[in-house]
Amino acid sequence: MAQPQPQNVFAPWADPAEKPLIRFEGVTKRFGDFVAVDDLNLDIYEREFFALLGPSGCGKTTLMRMLAGFENPSEGNIWIGGQNMKGIPPNRRPVNMMFQSYALFPHLTVWDNIAFGLRREGMDKDRMRVRVDEMLRLSRLEKFAGRKPHQISGGQRQRVALARSLAKAPKLLLLDEPLGALDKKLRQDTQFELMDIQEKTGTTFVIVTHDQEEAMTVASRVAVMDHGKLVQVATPAHIYEAPETVYVADFIGDVNIIEGTVIPAQGNRVDITYAEGKPPIRAATDKTLVPGQRVSFAVRPEKILVSREMATERTNAVKGRIEDIAYLGNISTYHVRLDSGHLVSAQMTNRNRLERREFTWEDEVWLSWTETAGIVLTE
Amino acid sequence: MNGRLTWFNVTSLTLGFAFLYLPMLILILYSFNESKLVTVWGGFSAKWYGELLRNEQFLDAFWVTLRVGLISSTLATVLGTMAAYVMVRGGRFFGRTLFTGMIYAPLVMPEVITGLSLLLLFIAIGLDRGIFTIVLAHTTFSMCFVSVVVSSRLVTFDRSLEEAALDLGATPLDTFRLVTLPIITPAVISGWLLAFTLSLDDLVIASFTSGPSSTTLPIKIFSAVRLGVSPEINALSTLMIAVVALGVITASLVSKNALRRQRREKQEAFAA
Ligand SMILES: Nc1ncnc2c1ncn2[C@@H]1O[C@H](COP(=O)(O)OP(=O)(O)OP(=O)(O)O)[C@@H](O)[C@H]1O
Ligand SMILES: [Mg+2]
């Protein structure tokens, strides 16, 4: 999966000389008996756009709150800019946070909400006015400057919260699901704005999101969490194309998982037997596997070709019957039942108009993919 | 609501209100009685109110009561708000449950006991009884009412607002001053009004803790009535009813407003 790399690619995590901006060092957080964050080690570098992904309740907010100083780790240390944060209260940390619940001050206007942090800094009146107006323009809230939070819409409130946390131009900005309440168009615009802000200010962002598309769009690196642990930390492309575990593969995007046993073949290939009397799946892998080992073969739907005739130029080809078709406009997902009983999804772009579609329900089709289309996972 | 006025509803409403307000109505009526005899109606007149204004003793008592009320309710509001804040926000410190219980205990303590124990304390530490001791006593017993009112507002207060203020660089004190206090102000005001009204009303505790030079109005009225009810007393009582009614109405308006605002905040949270 070696891709041509552009010059001067931004990858401080790959450089051993680089000092991290944030370092989690064996951090554990317990609430009573419940372990919300479990012995976590993580480095985040300056100018990164770091996305935290994971199911609800896996500890994302808790991690953020420890960075901001609202919770103390039960064990371990957190370093920001080389300084141990132990005992440093939230108001003296170089961190601003945008809250999942926005936490706008209900008794202050939009303008005063945004100015709140600048006032605490003791910024002089003129500079503050300029700065707040700039923030209002950025978040397209000029018209609402004089309103109270209960007089604006949910999406506007979210933008106020964002503007308020950005106003102080912090070294590190924590965003807890910042764009959840925005419609798709506005969300994309805001994503690009965030990236733009980051380009200009060099702020480091840590962002929590439930939207993996968002994580893929904005993040320099993505961390997938589960039950208070980091499962994998890598670039979006790497996480998508080379997930290390079935959990990650399944969490990011759609994937077909087929379980089977390994028979090593020549080169760095393996054959995976997944059903009695069926030809095995042949896949390329770097892993050293022993014969008979149980593995999962993961292949994304868009890497599978659907055709009426057997596609001979591809190593793997199986026959099945279309059970269901999900039409999404630009693409269609075909759910195909194999003779072996497995249900496999395959995705095709809709090059023809709907009424001239090639395949329909109950059609017998061939599914085919190359050796390198999928990956072999051992856990 | 199917709010039809059936004869049953009308009767029970009339009876209930008559029970509550007939005595007061009679008192107010007789305060405008021309005759010196309380039980005989001699025509309408406001002359007893004029008499009242010339009665030095009553005027003195009035000023004492007002001063005690203002000072003690203000002190009680400050202390009660602080106590409420610690109880709701203090986290789990050692002895918190005990502390909370002890704050609320005076609510159910018989006033005689509160008064007596305060009297014993003042004697023990050699404090001369006067306005100062009444103020202390009233602060003590009305403070817990304030803390009940304020803490019930604080428990519904969105904690993340305070965190946001801290996050934006406000010190804990600034956070309280700029965020917490403005939002709980309606509750603090109703607490103050409640404390003020309680202080105005109090007879039992004041009679334990007052000195010869400092008599409050309720004490004055009580001792005057023992010598016979005079129309002047009726006039005075009518004035007190007016003041208390004003206080209660203001308090309920303030808290109604606050409730409306709170509901709005909640809607906001839902919308979010
Ligand atoms: N103050 C607390 N006391 C007890 N348990 C808590 C506390 N705060 C969080 N938890 C628990 O810790 C776990 C992680 O919570 P956290 O808020 O970090 O989840 P999250 O990943 O942000 O979830 P979501 O995506 O739903 O926001 C949850 O199971 C939660 O119930
Ligand atoms: Mg969360």
pLDDT tens digits for range B18-43:
888 888 888 888 888 888 777 778 88
Query: Are residue A265 and residue A230 in the same domain, yes or no?
Result: no
Q: What is the DSSP string of B70-119?
A: HHHHHHHHHHHHHHHHHHHHS-S-TTHHHHHHHHHHHHHS-HHHHHHHHH
Distance CA B36, CA B26 (A): 15
ipTM above 0.85, yes or no: no
- Note whether A90 contacts B267, CB cutoff 8 Å: no
Whether pLDDT at A344 is above 60 = yes
At residue A240, the 3 state secondary structure works out as helix
Q: Indicate whether this model's pTM tops 0.80.
A: no
- Domain presence at residue A221: yes
Query: Are residue A336 and residue A212 in the same domain, yes or no?
Result: no
Distance CA B184, CA B81 (A): 10
Q: What is the pLDDT of residues A226-255, one digit of tens each?
A: 999 999 999 999 999 999 999 999 888 889
- Domain presence at residue A5: no
Whether pLDDT at A3 is above 60 = no
Whether pLDDT at A1 is above 50 = no
- Note whether B169 contacts A99, CB cutoff 8 Å: no
> Structural domain of residue A285, as residue ranges?
256-377
Distance CA B159, CA B31 (A): 52
Q: What is the pLDDT of residues A11-33, one digit of tens each?
A: 888 888 889 999 999 999 999 99
pLDDT, averaged across chain B: 86
Q: Which residues of B92-121 are buried (b: 16+ CB within 10 A; e: fewer)?
A: eeeeeeeebeebeebeeeebeebbeebbee
Confidence (pLDDT) at B57: 85
Residues with CB under 5 Å of ion ligand 2 are A 61
Query: Are residue A237 and residue A281 in the same domain, yes or no?
Result: no
At residue A335, the 3 state secondary structure works out as strand
Which segment of B101-115, B141-155, B180-194 scores lowest on mean pLDDT?
B101-115
Check pocket membership of A332 for ligand 1, CB cut-off 6 A.
no
Confidence (pLDDT) at A150: 87
Mutate to test the interface with B, among A93, A97, A179 (most CBs of B within 10 A): A97
Check pocket membership of A139 for ligand 1, CB cut-off 6 A.
no
Check pocket membership of A224 for ligand 1, CB cut-off 6 A.
no
Confidence (pLDDT) at B94: 74
- Note whether A149 contacts B268, CB cutoff 8 Å: yes
Query: Are residue A209 and residue A333 in the same domain, yes or no?
Result: no
Sign of CA dihedral B162, B167, B173, B177: negative
Whether pLDDT at A10 is above 70 = yes
- Domain presence at residue A1: no
Q: What is the pLDDT of residues A181-220, one digit of tens each?
A: 777 887 888 888 888 888 877 889 999 988 888 888 889 9
pLDDT, averaged across chain A: 89
Check pocket membership of A57 for ligand 1, CB cut-off 6 A.
yes
Q: Which residue of A has its CA nearest to B166?
A: A91
- Of A231, A249, A267, the one marking the end of a domain is A249
Q: What is the pLDDT of residues A73-130, one digit of tens each?
A: 999 999 999 999 999 999 999 999 999 889 999 999 999 999 999 999 999 999 999 9
CB distance A91 to B170 below 8 Å: yes
Band of residue A305 on the pLDDT scale cut at 50, 70, 90: very high
φ, ψ of residue A234 in degrees (nearest 5) = -165, 175
Query: Are residue A27 and residue A134 in the same domain, yes or no?
Result: yes
Looking at residue B44, the DSSP 8-state letter turns out to be B
A365 touching B, CB under 8 A?
no
Other CB atoms within a 10 A radius of the CB of residue A133 amount to 14
Query: Are residue A261 and residue A235 in the same domain, yes or no?
Result: no
- Domain presence at residue A268: yes
Domain count, chain A: 2
Tokens linked to B113: 């006991």
* R_g over Cα of chain B: 23
Chain A contacts of B264, Cβ < 8 Å?
106, 150
Of B43-47, B75-79, B181-185, B259-263, give the range with the top mean pLDDT. B75-79
Domains annotated for chain B, with CATH where assigned, are 27-271 (1.10.3720.10)
User: Measured in angstroms, how far is the CA atom of residue A62 from the centroid of ligand 1?
Assistant: 6
Q: Which residue of B has its CA nearest to A153?
A: B271
Tokens linked to B215: 């008599």
Band of residue B1 on the pLDDT scale cut at 50, 70, 90: very low
Check pocket membership of A51 for ligand 1, CB cut-off 6 A.
no
Chain B contacts of A107, Cβ < 8 Å?
182-183
